[in-house]
């Protein structure tokens, strides 16, 4: 799923309205991604107690960052942060119904009567102080901080907090007098920690992608000219759920013919016709984690112009993947994709960033775009999704979601491109076949595993 080219610091809760950051607030030092280490070891047959193990490891990482940021605690109202910190599966929805406070010693969670029973069942280690009283989050926070009784308590908050909520907190906390905390903007602290996926997260995302690949395989057996975009989207969602998805990672994009030139087109009543491009961007949500994949099909034999567009995007995709690896930047990969498209006279039709992080939310940090100067680290999960869009004609996007792998020892050889991509080298027309083959050969000669895709669906142009 595409994302406009933005700074990584712009990312956070997708539910905060535009311009909602708290104004004129002091902040803590910027988060250092290199200091965030994920937790190893995951059993796919995980039970509730092992979920608590991952939660405890994530809390340790958070508390280490609180020390580095000179904070005594942090609050978040973002359900994605709360899902990540607790490890509780399929409990948090899209409502900002909960306030979480984590200090060096204690974890507090204020919720309401709709969730408290499920939370008590999930909290098998009794790690969280749960409270469902019908009072405001501001009142609850003031009570807790008063009980803690630490003057000058340095309290971090997420920059995506709504202004009205922030003002309510300020007004209520002001009444604490000498026990009033100092509110400090903890920019990217939790988002930065969530960038580095631990073993549980990686496994859940692989499973989400496996469901997505299986749904795409099914789609290739039933899709046909004459079907409407909306019909395809509905059937695709049914397939994803039937295969084990808990839901959609995001609203599927199904765009045919000239609609495929709209990067975020919504499925409509247009019917597939021979000669169309069909752009699909979709993903399963599994145990709260997202998959994200785009494929472009051709309805009937492709024209010369369709082949040209597809081959250019495919080459941009493969060469951008070669650049990726621990220590490189999203900007470097974006520049590589733009260079390939520019060589084909198509760079001006690349309308969005190259990729973004994926996890509990489908759009997370880090980003891959012109302003993405942050170095990528091992266990970042990101998308690579170059696209070209010609108004009135159609568009192509090819997207895989995958992981930045740990570098291998010097002198060993690993490939950053999957076998699917290598097979693609023999499937594209001669006009770019040499470029694809060279891209694969270069990646095979590197000493780092670079980017490893979770997807197994073919990258070559498929004809329906």
| pLDDT tens-digit series, residues 228-264 | 999 999 999 999 999 999 999 999 999 999 999 999 9
Q: Maximum CA pair distance of the chain?
A: 75
**Contact (CB, 8 A) for 48 and 67:** no
Confidence check: pLDDT of 448 > 50: no
What is the spatial distance between Cα 340 and Cα 346, in angstroms, rounded to a whole number?
Answer: 9
What is the spatial distance between Cα 310 and Cα 297, in angstroms, rounded to a whole number?
Answer: 10
- Residue 291 pLDDT grade (very low, low, confident, very high; cuts 50, 70, 90): very high
Q: What is the pLDDT of residue 451?
A: 96
Angle, CA of 436, 438 and 439, to the nearest 5°: 65
**Contact (CB, 8 A) for 336 and 362:** no
- Residue 101 pLDDT grade (very low, low, confident, very high; cuts 50, 70, 90): very high
Question: Could you tell me which residues are beta bridge partners of residue 108?
Answer: 101, 129
Q: Where are the alpha helices (DSSP H) in 69-127?
A: 79-86, 116-122
Question: Which CATH number, 2.30.30.790, 2.40.30.10, 3.40.50.1820, 3.90.230.10, labels domain 199-463?
Answer: 3.90.230.10
CATH 3.40.350.10 residue ranges of the chain are 11-194
Strands (DSSP E) found in 283-319: 284-286, 289-290, 293-298
CATH 3.90.230.10 residue ranges of the chain are 199-463
DSSP state of 150: -
Residues present in the chain in total: 464
pTM greater than the 0.75 cutoff? yes
What is the spatial distance between Cα 258 and Cα 438, in angstroms, rounded to a whole number?
Answer: 32
Pairing verdict, β 107-110 and 247-248: unpaired
- In 3D, which of 183, 283, 273, 298 has the Cα closest to residue 243? 283
Question: Could you tell me which residues are beta bridge partners of residue 156?
Answer: 74, 184
Q: What is the pLDDT of residue 387?
A: 98
Confidence check: pLDDT of 403 > 80: yes
Pairing verdict, β 107-110 and 128-131: parallel
Residue 151's Cα: distance from chain center in Å? 38
Q: Of 6 and 433, which is predicted with more confidence?
A: 433
Lowest-pLDDT choice from 39-43, 218-222, 331-335, 451-455 = 39-43
Q: b/e string for 388-407 if b means 16 or more Cβ within 10 A?
A: bbbeebbbbbbbbbbbbbeb
DSSP state of 207: H
Instruction: Please name the fold of domain 11-194.
Output: Creatine Amidinohydrolase; Chain A, domain 1 (3.40.350)
What is the spatial distance between Cα 165 and Cα 77, in angstroms, rounded to a whole number?
Answer: 10
Residue 462's Cα: distance from chain center in Å? 27
Question: Could you tell me which residues are beta bridge partners of residue 285?
Answer: 247, 290
As a whole number, mean pLDDT of residues 342-368 equals 97
């Amino acid at each position: 799923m595409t994302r406009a080219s933005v700074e990584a610091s712009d990312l956070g809760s997708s539910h905060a309205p535009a311009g909602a950051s708290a104004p004129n607030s002091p902040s803590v030092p910027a988060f250092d991604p290199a200091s965030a280490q994920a937790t190893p070891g995951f059993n796919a047959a995980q039970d509730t107690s092992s979920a608590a193990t991952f939660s405890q490891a994530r809390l340790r990482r958070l508390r280490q960052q609180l020390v580095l940021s000179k904070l005594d605690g942090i609050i978040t109202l973002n359900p994605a942060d709360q899902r990540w910190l607790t490890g509780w599966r399929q409990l948090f929805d899209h409502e900002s119904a909960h306030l979480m406070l984590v200090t060096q010693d204690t974890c507090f969670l204020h919720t309401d009567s709709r969730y408290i029973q499920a939370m008590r069942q999930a909290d098998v280690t009794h790690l969280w102080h749960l409270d469902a009283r019908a009072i405001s989050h501001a009142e609850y926070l003031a009570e807790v901080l008063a009980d803690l009784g630490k003057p000058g308590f340095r309290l971090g908050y997420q920059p995506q907090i709504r202004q009205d909520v922030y003002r309510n907190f300020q007004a209520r906390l002001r009444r604490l007098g000498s026990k009033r905390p100092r509110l400090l903007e903890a920019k990217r602290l939790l988002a930065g920690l969530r960038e580095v996926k631990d073993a549980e997260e990686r496994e859940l995302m692989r499973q989400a992608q496996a469901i997505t690949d299986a749904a795409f395989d099914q789609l290739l057996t039933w899709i046909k000219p004459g079907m409407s975009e909306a019909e395809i989207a509905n059937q695709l969602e049914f397939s994803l759920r039937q295969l084990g998805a808990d839901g959609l990672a995001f609203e599927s994009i199904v765009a045919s013919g000239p609609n495929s030139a709209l990067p975020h087109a919504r499925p409509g009543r247009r019917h597939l016709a021979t000669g169309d491009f069909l752009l699909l961007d979709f993903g399963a949500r599994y145990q709260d984690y997202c998959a994200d994949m785009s494929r472009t099909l051709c309805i009937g034999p492709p024209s010369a112009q369709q082949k040209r567009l597809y081959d250019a995007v495919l080459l941009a995709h493969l060469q951008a993947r070669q650049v990726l690896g621990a220590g490189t930047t999203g900007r470097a990969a974006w520049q590589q994709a733009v260079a390939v498209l520019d060589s084909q006279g198509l760079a001006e039709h690349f309308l969005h960033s190259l990729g973004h992080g994926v996890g509990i939310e489908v759009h997370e940090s880090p980003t891959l775009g012109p302003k993405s100067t942050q170095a990528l680290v091992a266990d970042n999960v990101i998308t690579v999704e170059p696209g070209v869009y010609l108004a009135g004609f159609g568009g192509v996007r090819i997207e895989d979601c995958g992981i930045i792998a740990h570098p291998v020892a010097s002198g060993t050889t690993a490939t950053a491109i999957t076998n699917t991509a290598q097979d693609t080298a023999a499937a594209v027309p001669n006009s770019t076949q040499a470029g694809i083959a060279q891209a694969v050969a270069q990646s095979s000669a590197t000493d780092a595993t670079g980017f490893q895709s979770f997807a197994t669906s073919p990258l070559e142009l498929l004809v329906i």
